[in-house]
Every structure is written in structure tokens, then in C-alpha cells.
Amino acid sequence: MLATLDDVQQRFNVKTDRVSLGGFSGGGIGTWIFGPRYPDRFSALVPRAGIPPKAEEIVKNLNGLPIFVIHGDRDGTIPVANSRSIVKELGRLGIPHRYEERHGGHEVFSELNDEVLGWLARKRRTLRSSFRYHGPVDGRPRIIHWVQVEGRGTVTVTANVQARRKLVLKLETTGHVDRLVLWVTRKLVDMGRRNVDVVINGRAMGFPLAESVAAVLDGYAITRDLRRVFTARVVVDGSRIR
């Protein structure tokens, strides 16, 4: 699915900050699988009659990604209890969402198409200065919001930008981290400064900060997204991560 999305974005003038993910039944299940794994790729999620993840650590990946959950109260294929339980969890975690439970069975969703399209028209993907992510690192280059973790295993990253001058990260892993690459823009940090403070697991470090064409091109080679361009980067060797 992601390979298809990348291909379409290369061939056509896609507004990549308005790409949403949604599906019905099996597609609703797929939305709940892909959405929390790639929350930085989409402007919103619309799972219809799906089965959400059970693990809270996966749900937390959604951060501020808006979700429109739809289910029929008499669904005999995928019980409505699945959506009811995740809606309670989304509320508890403070994740923005809308829930529409309609009277009917498995295919009740069609009556909401106009409402969904109107809702999606107001959604835009934004670069999050703060986020939390839990998932696998498999060696393929990927920038999660603005953090790239190189290594192997499963990682949990909590990251935030403080006062546009300090990058604070907490990193936990079940494997090995070779290095971190922190990709930044003028929206995230003050590029007028000659250096940036980085704190990883409580260890404070300072790094030079400079915009470069190389950073722009290398970041684009990973994201392939002209609306997700980074102008500078900070590279932290794995040996400096405790």
C-alpha cells in the first residue's frame, strides 16, 4: 500500500498534506494497522467497521492524528464493541476523534459518505514538534515525524522541541541503535543559532546547526515528499546514546 502511495506521489501533483487513510471491514482493520504505524504520513484516519489495536502503546502512536470512527450497532460481522472500546481509549488518551454509531448492520457506512468527505476537507497533516512512537526498526531509512532511528529491534521514542532551541528525546529499545538523525526545519528550531542543544535519555549534548542543500536532498530521498522537506540535520552516534 505504501509503495503504491509513494508511486502515485511521484507521478502526480498530490497534496501530500491532505492524504488520509480509511477503509471498510477488512479495510477498516487495515486502517487500524497502518495508521498507528505510519501516523506521520496521513492527515486523518477513517476506519469503518474495523478492529482496532489492543495495545495502548500502539494507540498512543496516533498522538494528535484525528480519527473518524464509524460502526453499525447491529453489525453481525465485526461487533460494534470493537469501536466502542477504542473510542473510550481515544478519549482517555486525549486523541481527537469523532464517533458515529448508526442503527444498522455491517454496511451502514454509506449514509455518512458526505459527512466524511466534508470532515476530511478540513484536515491537514502538520509537522509535530512533540510526539511519541513505538514500533519496529528494520534497517530501511525512515523519518518518523522528524526523528530517524537507524538500527534493529523495536524502539519507543518520545521527542519534543523546547523553545525552538532544544531537542529532548527519551529512547528505549529492545535491539540496537546505530545512530539517530534529527531532521529539523525553521518551524521547529531557530536557525539563527549556530548550535542546538540535544538531550537524549537525560544526557545533554551540543551540536552545530546549519542549513544545507545536502540536508534537503538527503531528506527528500527518504520522504519523497516536497511538503515534508528538512533543511538541517543533527547526527548522533549510537555510542553517545545511553
What does the angle CA 56 – CA 58 – CA 59 come to, to the nearest 5 degrees?
Answer: 65
Distance CA 129, CA 120 (A): 23
Residue boundaries of the structural domains of the chain: 16-120, 130-240
Can you give the pLDDT at residue 108? 82
Report the CATH number of the 16-120 domain.
3.40.50.1820
Can you give the pLDDT at residue 139? 80
Q: What is the DSSP letter of 140?
A: S
What does the angle CA 182 – CA 228 – CA 203 come to, to the nearest 5 degrees?
Answer: 15
Contacts of 162 (CB under 8 A, 6+ apart): 168
Distance CA 143, CA 125 (A): 15
- Residue ranges of the chain whose pLDDT lies below 70: 242
Can you give the pLDDT at residue 68? 98
Task: Give the bridge partners for 31, in sequence order.
Answer: none
CB atoms within 10 A of CB 105: 13
- Shortest CA distance to 159 belongs to which of 140, 193, 182? 182
Distance CA 236, CA 232 (A): 14
pTM for the model: 0.93
pLDDT one-digit tens code per residue, 70-95? 999 999 999 999 999 999 999 999 99
Give the type of residue at 152: R
Can you give the pLDDT at residue 1? 87
Can you give the pLDDT at residue 110? 83
